[in-house]
Every structure is written in C-alpha cells, then in structure tokens.
A and B are shown apart, each in its own frame.
Chain A
Amino acid sequence: MSANILMGEGLALMALGMSFVFVFLTVLVIVTTLMSKTIGRFFPEPPAPVATGNRRPPAPRQDDDVMVAITAAVHRYRRRHRR
C-alpha cells in the first residue's frame, strides 16, 4: 500500500515537474522572442554598421597616403638619377 502511495507521489511529481519546466521555458521563449523583436524595432543595432563604417574608410585613406608617398619617392628618385 505504502509502495503504491510512493509510486503515486512519484508520478504526480513527474507530471507536475515536467509540465512546469515546459510551461516555464515556453514562456521564456515567448518573452525572449518579444524582447528581441522589440529591441530590433526600437533600438536597431547601431554598433555593427558603425564598426564596419569606421573600419572601411581608413583602409582606402591609408592606401592613398601610401600611394602619394610612393609616387613622391619614385618621382624624386627618378629626378635625382636623371641628373
């Protein structure tokens, strides 16, 4: 008899526990999705574009500088060696 009661309690705990875990995580899924959507709409990711925007300009600028320096150097070198 007590064995049956024990089994019953175990089964009840299993059903309750499992359904609670599922309900809780389902609510978490809903909340997370809503949270992501809200943030996506009202606070659209500024950092990513800024980061790429910052990164791209320097590269060409640097190239230009280097190119200017190189042409200047080559120019000067040639001029000197012609004389």
Chain B
Amino acid sequence: MEKLLTLWYGSGLYNLTLGQGVMVLVGLGLLYLAIAKKFEPLLLVPIGFGGILANIPEAGLALSAAEQAAHLARPGVLEQMAAALGVALDPVAGIEAWRGTLSDALHGDLSPTLVRAANDVAMDVGYANGVLYQFYNVAIASGIAPLVIFMGVGAMTDFGPLLANPRTLFLGAAAQFGIFATLLGAVGMSAMGWMDFSLNQAAAIGIIGGADGPTSIYVASILAPELLGAIAVASYSYMALVPLIQPPIMKALTTKREREIAMTQLRPVSKLEKIVFPLSLLILVVLFLPDAAPLLGMFCFGNLMRECGVVERLSDTAQNALINIVTIFLGLSVGSKLMADRFLAFETLGILALGMVAFAIGTACGVLMAKLMNTVSRMPINPLIGSAGVSAVPMAARVSNKIGLESNPHNFLLMHAMGPNVAGVIGSAVAAGVMIKFLG
C-alpha cells in the first residue's frame, strides 16, 4: 500500500498545478496552430512542444540544478544551499516554507556568484540542470542561436531588388516606427499604473514590431530575459498573422487609384554590386553603430557567402542544414521559457496586445511613407509596397503583391516589395542596435 502511495505522490497527476495544466493546453494550442493552420510551423512546433515539456510536473526539464534541488532535496541540502545563497531559513516554518524561500531567492535578483555557488551545492548532491535549461543556456543565453539564424537569413536574402532601387530603404526605416511607438506604449502603460514594465522591458517588447523573430529574441535575451517566452511567442505568432493583420490597414490607407499604380521594371543588378553591398553595409555598421555588429555582421557574412559564388558549400549549409539545426534548439529553448509561474502573468497579455499594435503601426507608417515618396519622386511608387517595410520576409512582400493583384491583375509588385522587405530586416537590426546601445 505504501509503495502504491509513493507511486501516486510521484505521478504527474498528483503534482500537476493549475498553471501547469493551463500551460500544457497553451502548448497544445500552439501545436494546433502550427499543424492545422500552418502558422510558422517551423518555429511553433518546437516552441509548443518545448512548452509542454517545460511544464511536466516534477520533471524539471527547464530548471537549473539549484531550482530542482530547492524543490526536491532533503532538509540538510536545503540548509547548505541557504548558506551558499546567504538566505536565512526560519527553523520553525517547516520544510515546505524553506523550499518556497529558496525558490524565491533563486528567481530574485541575487548576484550570479551566489546563484552559481548554490548550483554547485545542488550538483554536488547529484542534481543536474534540466535538458531544456541546458539548451537555453547554450542557444539563447549565449546569444548564439539568433545570430546563426541571422547568418542563414543573410545567406537566403537577395539584395538585388534593393540595389536596383535603393530608395526603398526609406520604407524599411519608416516601418520601424512601430518599434518605437510600442516602446512608448509600454512605457505609457507602466506610467498609468496598468502594467509594470521597466524601460528595458519596454524596449524588448517594442522590437516585436520589427517583425523579425531572431532580432526580437536577441534583444530580449539581452535586455529582458524574463520576458523572452512571451516576446518570442508574440513575434512569431504575429509573423504568421501578417496576411490577416496587414490587408485591412493597407486598404484603409490607400485609394483604389493608388493601389493600381504600376511600377517601372527594375534595372538588372551586376554581380559585383551584390558582392560589394554586404561589405559596404558592414563598413557603415563598423563606423556608426558597433552595437548592431553582432546581428548585421552575421547577416552580411551570410549574404557575402551567397553572393561571392566561391563558397557554395558554406552558403548551402548556412541556409539549409545549419539554420534547421539551430531552429530546433532555438524553438525548444524558447519553449523552456513557457513555464507556468513566469508565463501566466498579466504582463503576458499586455505584451501580446502591444505586439499587435506594434505590427499595425509599423505597417501604417510604411504605407504612409510610400505615399509621401510617391508624391515627391518622379518614379511612380505603389504605396502597397510600403507595408513590406516591416520585415517578416517574404510574407509581407507576398501580401503586398496579392493586394496589388486584386486591384490590378497585371500589376506584379512582388519584386518591388522585396526591396523594402529586406530593408526592414536591416532597419530592425539597426533599431535593435540603438536599443542595446542605450539600455544594454
């Protein structure tokens, strides 16, 4: 009978908290969106599955050794850990209260040295870091995974349309207004007392408006790691929702005649220009914004491998095998941040709402900028390509093309929209660099 009870106390059903149950459902929901609705499946499948793994009761896949020990270890070990952390344990309170105190201390803002000491104590008695926790440390906390993905994106990007019409870079710049407007929105919400975001957290939330998954994960891992789960989920789900969010805004801001504007054929771009472009971008980054160097440096490197034409094998690996491998680990690591006690907070709702606003404002600013450029310049510019200034390559460009075809069946905007689209990638990386410069 006693053995049966032990089995029961060790079961997931006995230990499942309400929050964990909800988060398992959230994970299943993400899987549903990815598999049945095809929303960014490459990322939402690993993220959703990682979220479920992270919320398995007692397994502690997403916990460090110290956190697991605080939850499971004998009283003697707890005392040792408390000594290492410099926390006082109330002798009368009983062991459950001790566990609570230690967990709070580990989640609080103690110095990393103390936390490391507690981790060593836990490892000495045989506790190990959970596997998702390890993935997170290697892939995201070190900053590697988003950067390697950015290199792969660089290797997939064709700058031809941008080089043929460099002025589309302005559209990419205008669409970044969504980032900064959202930052202001997050700060405003805290000022009104609705939420409690610091300036760093507000900046990390704003980057969602850049519509660039790796960039927002990179910035969040530096400025606000505690919000990373919500930010990553928000940015990837909105990237998937681009075809739903953008069209109403684009149609509201343009007249039918503007949507029918046909653009002139792009000039052919020589191979040499394509090789020199990533290098000149890199030099500008070096000169003006070294803080964007990790992101844009990897991006330029990937693009140079693609265009130089002598390292086809490396370029092929960067845009296929490597990016796929890293995507698996990135997705699982983001999933590890979907733990109930941190994700199920009022702030998460705020982040999801702000992310949506960021997208909408970015789209609107891109379209308005394109209208402005159309009135100023001699060459006609269809305002629909402005919305592609939020990155989300190549989804946003496809949306521009589709809306353009609806108004004028002979108007193919796809290539014209790819220019602002890749400009948006550069723009959001620059905005990320500015944020890291001021707040990092």
- Nearest Cβ in chain A — how far from B197, in angstroms? 9
- Nearest Cβ in chain A — how far from B377, in angstroms? 12
A66 within 8 A of B: no
- Nearest Cβ in chain B — how far from A40, in angstroms? 8
- CA distance in complex: A43, B430 (Å): 31
Q: Are B280 and A17 in contact (CB under 8 A)?
A: no
A72 within 8 A of B: no
Q: Known: A10-B202, A28-B281, A48-B268. Is A20-B169 also a contact (CB below 8 A)? A: no
Q: Are A21 and B431 in contact (CB under 8 A)?
A: yes
- Nearest Cβ in chain B — how far from A19, in angstroms? 10
Q: Are B190 and A29 in contact (CB under 8 A)?
A: no
Contact of B180 among A6, A7, A18, A27 (CB under 8 A): A18
Q: Are A31 and B184 in contact (CB under 8 A)?
A: no
A77 within 8 A of B: no
B22 within 8 A of A: no
CB-CB under 8 A from A73, the residues of chain B are: none
CB-CB under 8 A from B167, the residues of chain A are: 29
A68 within 8 A of B: no
Q: Are A21 and B276 in contact (CB under 8 A)?
A: no
Contact of B276 among A13, A26, A35, A48 (CB under 8 A): A35
CB-CB under 8 A from B273, the residues of chain A are: 35-36, 39
- CA distance in complex: A18, B434 (Å): 9
Q: Are B280 and A20 in contact (CB under 8 A)?
A: no
Q: Are B272 and A32 in contact (CB under 8 A)?
A: no
- CA distance in complex: A9, B177 (Å): 17
Identify which of residues 1-45 in chain A touch chain B, using a CB-to-CB cut-off of 8 Å.
3-4, 6-7, 9-11, 13-14, 16-18, 20-22, 24-29, 31-33, 35-36, 39-40, 43, 45
A47 within 8 A of B: yes
Q: Are A13 and B280 in contact (CB under 8 A)?
A: no
Q: Are A11 and B431 in contact (CB under 8 A)?
A: no
- Nearest Cβ in chain B — how far from A70, in angstroms? 38
Query: Could you mark each residue 133-170 of chain B with 1 if its beta carbon is under 8 Å from any beta carbon of chain A, else 0?
Result: 00000000000000000000000000000110011011
Contact of A20 among B187, B269, B277, B434 (CB under 8 A): B434
CB-CB under 8 A from A11, the residues of chain B are: 184
Q: Known: A14-B184, A25-B172. Is A32-B199 also a contact (CB below 8 A)? A: no
Q: Are A32 and B280 in contact (CB under 8 A)?
A: yes
CB-CB under 8 A from A14, the residues of chain B are: 180-181, 183-184
- CA distance in complex: A21, B365 (Å): 14
B113 within 8 A of A: no
- Nearest Cβ in chain B — how far from A54, in angstroms? 16
- Nearest Cβ in chain B — how far from A45, in angstroms? 5
- Nearest Cβ in chain A — how far from B100, in angstroms? 30
- Total number of residue pairs linking A and B with CB closer than 8 Å: 112
Q: Are B173 and A16 in contact (CB under 8 A)?
A: no
B423 within 8 A of A: yes
CB-CB under 8 A from B277, the residues of chain A are: 32, 35
Q: Are B430 and A21 in contact (CB under 8 A)?
A: yes
Query: Which residue of chain B lies nearest to A2 when distances are taken between CB atoms in the complex?
Result: B191
- CA distance in complex: A25, B163 (Å): 13
Q: Are B438 and A16 in contact (CB under 8 A)?
A: yes
- Nearest Cβ in chain B — how far from A28, in angstroms? 6
* Of listed A20, A27, A40, A43, residue having the most chain B CB within 10 A: A20
CB-CB under 8 A from B191, the residues of chain A are: 3-4, 6-7
Q: Are A28 and B169 in contact (CB under 8 A)?
A: yes
Query: Could you mark each residue 249-263 of chain B with 1 if its beta carbon is under 8 Å from any beta carbon of chain A, else 0?
Result: 000000000000000
Q: Are A39 and B270 in contact (CB under 8 A)?
A: yes
Contact of B430 among A7, A16, A25, A47 (CB under 8 A): A25
Q: Are B187 and A18 in contact (CB under 8 A)?
A: no
Can you give 22 A-B contacts (C-beta < 8 A)? A6-B199, A7-B191, A9-B199, A10-B199, A11-B184, A13-B203, A14-B184, A17-B431, A18-B177, A18-B180, A21-B434, A22-B170, A24-B288, A24-B430, A25-B170, A25-B173, A25-B430, A26-B170, A26-B173, A29-B170, A32-B163, A47-B271
With A6-B187, A24-B288 already in contact, 11 other A-B pairs whose C-beta atoms are closer than 8 Å: A6-B190, A10-B188, A10-B202, A13-B439, A18-B176, A18-B177, A18-B180, A32-B162, A32-B169, A32-B280, A45-B268
Q: Which residues of A contact B (CB under 8 A)?
A: 3-4, 6-7, 9-11, 13-14, 16-18, 20-22, 24-29, 31-33, 35-36, 39-40, 43, 45, 47-48
Those 4 A-B pairs whose CB atoms lie nearest each other, nearest first: A10-B187, A3-B191, A14-B180, A25-B173
Q: Which residues of B contact A (CB under 8 A)?
A: 162-163, 166-167, 169-170, 172-173, 176-177, 179-181, 183-184, 186-188, 190-193, 199, 202-203, 268-273, 276-277, 280-281, 284, 288-289, 423, 426-427, 430-431, 434-435, 438-439
